[in-house]
Amino acid sequence: MNNIIKRLCNTNELIELYSNFNDCDKFAVGYIDACTDNECLIHSFQENDLDDGYYVMHNDSVFEIRRRTKYLKNMLLFIKPNTEKYKLPKGYWTELDLFNVVLNLCKEERLMAMIRLDFGEECYGYINDFDDSILEIETVDSDGIPDGIEYLRIEDVRVIGFGSLEANRRLKLFETQNNLN
């Protein structure tokens, strides 16, 4: 898949990207904005132009990519051109760690992050710190309530995202719970 990911990177071609072997009916719709030989950065959308944020994932997690499907043609009727909301890399990079780029952005901008692990578990919250082996995240539950601090092994992290509809929902609840609006 690496060669296909590289070829589609930064082309502004909307794709379907499949990475969940346990549920092949689930897939992401979006643009591959940046990639390396190991990772790709996706700008994801849901129907009716709902921006579903950005996420970075390992290329070897992708088992299928679809282009020019009827579903994608219909989605293009709703999705507007990308807007540059965040300073993120574009195109193919030989010497860049996209996971670190996204982790740093989430940490510095205090963005609500989504972390998906190898075994499918997801957690949401704020990145406090990370290094080559451990990620520290201040978790926020589905009701927007802080739920402690988790330490995760970086090697177990498969996807890191921010700006999704779910992350924004938790953020809004968190801000409301803590009177941060």
CA 41/CA 128 separation, integer angstroms? 22
Report domain extents, the chain. 1-96, 97-181
The string of pLDDT tens digits covering residues 28-82 is 899 999 999 999 999 999 877 788 999 999 999 899 999 999 999 999 988 876 6
Cβ proximity of 109 and 167 under 8 Å: no
The string of pLDDT tens digits covering residues 126-175 is 999 999 999 999 999 999 999 999 999 999 999 999 999 999 999 999 99
SS3 content of the chain, % helix, strand, coil (to 5): 25, 40, 35
Has domain 97-181 been given CATH number 2.30.30.100? yes
Q: What's the whole-model pTM score?
A: 0.91
CA 59/CA 146 separation, integer angstroms? 32
Report residue 52 as tokens: 């579903």
